Amino acid sequence: MTDVTSLSIAEINSGLVSKSFSSRELTQAYLERIEKLKSLNCYIEVCGESALKAADECDQMIKSGRRLPLLGVPIAIKDVITTKGIRTTCASKMLKDFIPPYDATAIIKMRENGGFVLGKTNMDEFAMGSSTENSFFGASRNPWDTARVPGGSSGGSAVAVAAALAPASLGSDTGGSVRQPASYCNVVGLKPTYGRISRYGLIAYASSLDQIGIFSRTVADCALLAQSLFGHDPLDSTSVEMAIPDLSKEIKRGIKGLKIGIPKEYLIEGVSKEVLQSVQDALSTLTQLGAEIVDISLPHTEYALACYYILALAEASSNLARYDGIRYGYRSPQARDLKQLYSLSRSEGFGKEVKRRIMVGTYALSAGYYDAYYKRAQQARTLIAQDFRSAFSEQCDVIACPTAPTTAFRIGEQSSDPVQMYLNDIFTVPVNLAGLPGISIPCGFDSQGLPVGLQLIGKPWDEGTLLRAANAYESSTDWHKRFPEV
C-alpha cells in the first residue's frame, strides 16, 4: 500500500469508497506523521481525539453508502478560524486559552461536505506577518529547508500540506497570506474573490481585505474545496450572492485562446533572477498549451503597498480594540484598576509586531490624519482596482506574475526592518485591494532547491477561468509532485 498521507483528496475519495483504507486509518496515519514531524511546528493544536471520532462517523456514513465531496477527509485549519469547542488562538498570548462557542461558517460548510478538523495550524500572530515567525507558539519551519521560513501568515497551513501533515488546509489571505506561503512551500494556494467565502468566524485582521483561502496539493483538490466553501452567508454582509459554476468540470476545459496579461510594472528591482526565470518558463508552457501572452499595464502598482499598509493597519487597530481582557482572552493579573486592566492586558497579551501595527493604524485614523492617510489610501485603492478592471475588460482573461519576489528566506533574516519585510507582499497585495481571486501554483525550484510559485490573477467571481489555467499548467508539469525530504 502506498503511504496514504501522500494522496490527493480525489485519491482519498476513491480509496475510501473502494475500502482500500478507512478514514480512521487515514487520520491515524496523519496523526502519526504529525507527531514525527513536530519539529516543523506547523500545528498549534492537534485534534487527535475529535478527528478520530469524526473519522469513525465518516466511515459509518461511507459504509451506508453516503457520498459527499469531502467525506472522510481530515483538514487542517489556520488558527484564525473559529472552531466550536476547539481552542482558537490566532497564535497570540491574547487568545491562548480562547475556546470559541461557535463555528465559523466555513467550518460548518466543510463539515456539511464531510470534512473534519485535523488540527489548528500555526501562523503569524493575528495574521500579521509574512513568515510565521511572529507566533506566540514559536516559528514554523519550511520543510524544504528547516532553517528557512515557510512564508506567512498562513505558514502552518502551507507546511501541513507541503509536508504531508494534512491533505488540504484552510488559511486566510489579507495581503498574500495564502499565496506567498504556498509559493514558498510548493503547494497550491487559492485566495478567492472577496465575498466568495463567508468571513463569519474568520478572526478579523483587515476586514475589507481578509478572505479565507485554500491550500491543496493539486488544483483539482482546490476546486473541490472551493465548491464546498463558496457561497453567500446571511451572517456576513460582505459575502455576495453569485452563481458558482461546477468547478471540477470547469477546470478540465483547455486554455486555447486564453489571454494572459503580463503587467510591465511587475518587472521591478529586487525580484530574484531565478524566480523570474521560472515564471518565464511557465509562461512558455502556457503558450504551448494555447494561451496568448499580452503585455498590459497596471499604472498604479507602485502605490499598492503603501495603500495596503494604511488600510490594513488602520482596520487592524480597530478590529483589535475588542481585546481588552474583559469578556474573553488574556487578562493581566497585575491590573489594579480599569485603566491598567486595559493597558497591561493588551501590552502583555499582544506581541511586538501586532502592537507596532496597532500603533501605526491608530495614528493613521487619528484626528487630523484621516484624510491624509486613510481616505487617500481608499482613493488609491479605487485607482488600483480600476487598473485591473480596464486590463480585464480590454486585454486579458487572467494576469500572471511571480507570487513573491524571492524564494523562502532564512528565519530571522528579515524581521528587523518592517518596510523591507512588507516588500515581500508586493505582488500579492494589489489582488486583495482589488478584491480579485488569485492563485499560487508550483512552477519550479531555484538553485538552492527552494520552490517558486506562479501567481495567476482572475476577474472577480471568475475562479473558474483561474483554476482552469492553473490546472492546464499543472497537468503538463510535475513540480507539484515533488515532496520535500523531511
Partner 1 sequence: MIGEDEVKKIALLSHLNLEEGESVSLANELNSILGYVDKLQKLDTTSVEPTSHVHGSKNIMRPDVTSPSMPTELALSNTPELSGRFIKVPIIIEQNGEN
Partner 2 sequence: MEYETVIGLEVHVQLSTKSKIFCASSTEFGADPNEHVDALTLGMPGSLPVLNKTVVDYAIMLGLAMNCEIRNFNRFARKHYFYPDLPKGYQISQFEEPICERGYINVSFSPDSQRPIGIKRIHMEEDAGKNIHDMRTEASLIDLNRAGVPLLEIVSEPDIRSPAEAACYLRAVRQICRYLRISDGNMEEGSLRCDANISLRPVGEMKFGTRTEIKNINSFRFVEKALEYETARQLSLLKAGKQIRQETLLFDSASGSTRPMRGKEESSDYRYFPDPDLPPVVVEERWIREIRSQMPKLPEQISKELVEIYGLTPYDAGVLTSERDNVDFYLAVYDVCQNAKAACNWVTSELFGALNQQGLDISTSPVNAANLGALIKLIDSEIISGKMAKSVFEEMFKTSASPQEIVEKQGLKQITSEDEILSIIRQVFDANPSQLKSLLEGNDRLHGFFVGQVMKSTGGSANPKKVNELISREAQRLAGK
Q: Is residue 170 involved in binding partner 2 (CB under 8 A)?
A: no
Q: Is residue 381 involved in binding partner 1 (CB under 8 A)?
A: yes
Per-residue DSSP letter, 78: E
Total interface residues for partner 1 by CB under 8 A: 70
First to last CA, the chain: 20
Q: Is residue 5 involved in binding partner 1 (CB under 8 A)?
A: no
Which partner from the list partner 2, partner 1, none does 370 bind, CB cut-off 5 to 8 Å by kind? partner 2
Q: Is residue 340 involved in binding partner 2 (CB under 8 A)?
A: no
CA triple 484-177-11, angle to 5 deg: 45
CA 173 to chain centre: 5
Q: Is residue 268 involved in binding partner 1 (CB under 8 A)?
A: no
The runs of H, that is alpha helices, within 37-146 are: 48-63, 105-112
Selected catalytic residue, list 22, 78, 130, 191: 78
Q: Is residue 229 involved in binding partner 2 (CB under 8 A)?
A: no
Q: Is residue 457 involved in binding partner 1 (CB under 8 A)?
A: no
Q: Is residue 372 involved in binding partner 2 (CB under 8 A)?
A: no
157 catalytically annotated: no
Cell of 262: 503580463
Cell of 277: 526565470
3-class SS of residue 372: helix
**CA–CA distance, 185 with 135 (Å, rounded to integer):** 18
Q: Are 279 and 454 in contact (CB under 8 A)?
A: yes
Total interface residues for partner 2 by CB under 8 A: 44
Closest to partner 1 by CB, 161 vs 466, is: 466
153 catalytically annotated: yes
DSSP secondary structure string, 434-472? Answer: TT--EEEEEEEE-TTS-EEEEEEEE-TT-HHHHHHHHHH
The runs of H, that is alpha helices, within 235-351 are: 247-250, 273-288, 304-319, 338-349
Q: Is residue 108 involved in binding partner 1 (CB under 8 A)?
A: no
Q: Are 106 and 201 in contact (CB under 8 A)?
A: yes
Cell of 6: 501522500
Closest to partner 2 by CB, 37 vs 170, is: 170
Closest to partner 1 by CB, 163 vs 316, is: 316
H/E element, 402: strand 398-402
Binding mask 60-89 for partner 2 (x = CB under 8 A): ---------------------xx-----x-
Which partner from the list partner 2, partner 1, none does 383 bind, CB cut-off 5 to 8 Å by kind? partner 1
Cite the beta strand spans of 156-248 per DSSP E.
Answer: 168-173, 188-191, 211-216
Which partner from the list partner 2, partner 1, none does 104 bind, CB cut-off 5 to 8 Å by kind? partner 2
Q: Is residue 334 involved in binding partner 1 (CB under 8 A)?
A: no
**CA–CA distance, 388 with 386 (Å, rounded to integer):** 5
Q: Is residue 372 involved in binding partner 1 (CB under 8 A)?
A: yes
332 catalytically annotated: no
Among 356, 395, 445, 446, interactor with partner 1 by CB under 8 A: 356
Q: Is residue 5 involved in binding partner 2 (CB under 8 A)?
A: no
**CA–CA distance, 332 with 117 (Å, rounded to integer):** 31
Q: Is residue 376 involved in binding partner 1 (CB under 8 A)?
A: yes
Please report how close the Cβ of residue 79 comes to partner 1 at its closest, in angstroms: 15
Selected catalytic residue, list 130, 157, 172, 177: 177
The sign of the torsion formed by the CA atoms of 210, 211, 212, 218 equals negative
Q: Are 141 and 97 in contact (CB under 8 A)?
A: no
**CA–CA distance, 357 with 344 (Å, rounded to integer):** 18
CA triple 298-172-464, angle to 5 deg: 60
Strands 211-216 and 188-191: antiparallel
Closest to partner 1 by CB, 320 vs 443, is: 320
Q: Is the peptide bond prior to 135 cis by the omega test (within 30 degrees of 0)?
A: no
Please report how close the Cβ of residue 374 comes to partner 1 at its closest, in angstroms: 8
Binding mask 104-143 for partner 2 (x = CB under 8 A): x---------------------------------------
**CA–CA distance, 163 with 157 (Å, rounded to integer):** 10
Among 314, 344, 421, 431, interactor with partner 2 by CB under 8 A: 314
Active site (catalytic) residues = 78, 153, 177
Given the rule CB under 8 A, which residues bind partner 1?
A: 97-99, 101-102, 193-195, 208, 234, 237-238, 240, 300, 302-303, 305-307, 309-310, 317, 324-329, 331, 335-344, 346-347, 350, 355-356, 358-360, 362-363, 366, 372-373, 375-383, 385, 417-419, 422, 433-435, 460
Residues that bind partner 2 (CB under 8 A): 81-82, 88, 90, 95, 98, 100-102, 104, 199-204, 206-208, 234-238, 314-315, 317-318, 320-324, 326-328, 338, 342, 362, 365-367, 370, 374
